[in-house]
Structure 1
Amino acid sequence: MAALAGAAAVLAFTVRQSGGALTTADLYLFGALLVCAAGYTEGGRLARVLPGWQVIGWALLLCLPLTLPVAAVALSVEPVEPTARAVAGLLWVAAGSQFLGLIVWYRGMAAIGIPRASQLQLAQPLLTLVWSVLLLNEQLTVAAPLTAAAVLVCIAVTQRARG
């Protein structure tokens, strides 16, 4: 019930921010959420029997038939001129932030369970919100911190119920 309440809070916030109706972009985001949830769940299951680096490595390898053609099309439409700084940033995001981070994430999911870890991950957008205010001087509406607080309460309830 708490997880559904948290989802309802986010949905209400999204509808309010979209001017009272969901947009096509919101539906795409929801579709991406479902695909990512399925991927995380399967990754968590695999992390019970494989080390995290193998889970993410296999996932990346299995995605190549989709990502290579999409990248080729994207590069043909929008050619790039990579600088050393841009390549270094890309390598950090790919190898450091994502690959190493997901190794730890999958290990954590295997240790505490997929449902519990998934609920904890709901705090990630809230942390992004805080950092955007602190580092980028982002201006928030009143609804953003209220929704964030509601989601945090829902996370706490789900974690307590599972413990």
Structure 2
Amino acid sequence: MERVSNLKTQPRENTTNGWLNGLIGVVIFSGSLPATRVAVLEFDPVFLTVARATIAGVLALCLLWLFKEKRPTRGQLLPLIIVAMGVVVGFPLLTALALQYVTSAHSIVFVGLLPLATAVFGVVRGGERPRPVFWFFSVLGSLLVVGFAVSQGLTASPEGDLLMLAAILACGLGYAEGAKLSRTLGGWQVICWALVLSLPVMALLTLWLTPVSFSGISMPAWFSLGYVSLFSMLIGFVFWYRGLAQGGIAAVGQLQLLQPFFGLALAATLLHEQVSIGMLAVTVAVILCVAGAKKFAK
């Protein structure tokens, strides 16, 4: 009887732990754009991208060595490269470039499309046939984001909005590929191996792009670099992929819908950026569209 009782309670514990780990991951990711916004005010965006990847890559290499993780197979290398191009290089670089033109509060509205992008790439990669209602919510959410960008003056800064859209597509592809790969390679191992594969190039670029002097860099900028390197690039993924493995990708993945709310709160409190009622309304509307799309994804 005791053994049967343990078998019944264990799945519940795993599900609860999965939601908790996933929530921690989302909270960590929510600070990425505000921290990047602070960092690009004093660091070159390309240097910021390669430096954060190098710092996280060195730590990932130490973790893999410490736990004596097996090397990925030849068939897993291409998916790992896609993950690296999406979440190690693509999203950090494109957002860093975008945040030279737009505020973090403005960019966070685009992050509301990230779960949708992940779902779309998941559908494409998985070969599923979603219902027509899924595509209705997908198109509606995209139109809301484009309409918001136009209302905020897209012609004044098209670079920032286009870069953010490209960043969301890159990250969505990286998330979907990483979630699929985590089933065979392991959760946190996926991001660690992606960082290690990127490390040689990122380290060389860091040395090449290192400024002659860091005398003018303030403590908030250094703190932001440390945050996006340790938390956004590595620690957040440890909790995120662990949560997906414990609670299920489809279920725990919906926690991403909370990320814009957390991000807007951080932008308003830490950076004192203005968060308008319209911006909140669009964020809520996009989240509802993403929720509807994910509901009818299968």
TM-score bracket relative to the smaller structure: 0.7 to 0.9
User: Unmatched 5+ residue regions in structure 1?
Assistant: none
The structure-2 alpha-carbon separation of the partners of 1:143 and 1:20, relative to structure 1 and needing over 3 Å to count, comes to: farther
Offset from partner CA, 1:117-152 (integer Å, 9 cap, x none): 2x5424312321133334544322332011012122
Counterparts of 1:10 and 1:116, CA distance in 2: 24
Counterparts of 1:157 and 1:80, CA distance in 2: 48
Alpha-carbon offset, residue 115 of structure 1:
9.5
Kindly indicate whether residue 287 of structure 2 is the aligned counterpart of residue 124 of structure 1: no
Counterparts of 1:90 and 1:22, CA distance in 2: 25
Tell me which of 248, 256, 280 is aligned to 1:112.
Answer: 248
Q: Which residue of 2 aligns with 1:18?
A: 153
Kindly indicate whether residue 178 of structure 2 is the aligned counterpart of residue 43 of structure 1: yes
Tell me which of 256, 270, 278 is aligned to 1:143.
Answer: 278
Q: How many residues align?
A: 161
Kindly indicate whether residue 168 of structure 2 is the aligned counterpart of residue 33 of structure 1: yes
Q: Which residue of 2 aligns with 1:100?
A: 235
Stretch deviating more after TM superposition (123-132 or 51-60): 123-132
Counterparts of 1:52 and 1:17, CA distance in 2: 39
Q: Which residue of 2 aligns with 1:9?
A: 144
Asked if the contact 1:47/1:109 (under 8 Å) is kept, the reply is: no
Which structure has the bigger radius of gyration?
2
Stretch deviating more after TM superposition (85-94 or 37-46): 85-94
Counterparts of 2:258 and 2:140, CA distance in 1: 15
Q: Which amino acid aligns with 2:249?
A: G
The structure-2 alpha-carbon separation of the partners of 1:63 and 1:107, relative to structure 1 and needing over 3 Å to count, comes to: same
SS for the counterpart of 2:183 is coil
Q: Which amino acid aligns with 1:40?
A: Y
Kindly indicate whether residue 232 of structure 2 is the aligned counterpart of residue 75 of structure 1: no
When the two structures are superposed, what TM-score results if normalisation uses the length of structure 2?
0.45
Asked if the contact 2:188/2:242 (under 8 Å) is kept, the reply is: no
The structure-2 alpha-carbon separation of the partners of 1:115 and 1:68, relative to structure 1 and needing over 3 Å to count, comes to: farther
Counterparts of 1:30 and 1:23, CA distance in 2: 11
Asked if the contact 1:44/1:114 (under 8 Å) is kept, the reply is: no
User: Unmatched 5+ residue regions in structure 2?
Assistant: 1-135
Stretch deviating more after TM superposition (140-149 or 90-99): 90-99
Counterparts of 2:220 and 2:155, CA distance in 1: 42
The structure-2 alpha-carbon separation of the partners of 1:127 and 1:71, relative to structure 1 and needing over 3 Å to count, comes to: same
Asked if the contact 2:138/2:289 (under 8 Å) is kept, the reply is: yes
What is the 5 A alignment of 1:83-98?
A: 90-91=225-226, 93-98=228-233
Q: Which residue of 1 aligns with 2:71?
A: none
Counterparts of 2:151 and 2:255, CA distance in 1: 25
Asked if the contact 2:243/2:252 (under 8 Å) is kept, the reply is: no
Offset from partner CA, 1:46-72 (integer Å, 9 cap, x none): 111122221111110122244223323
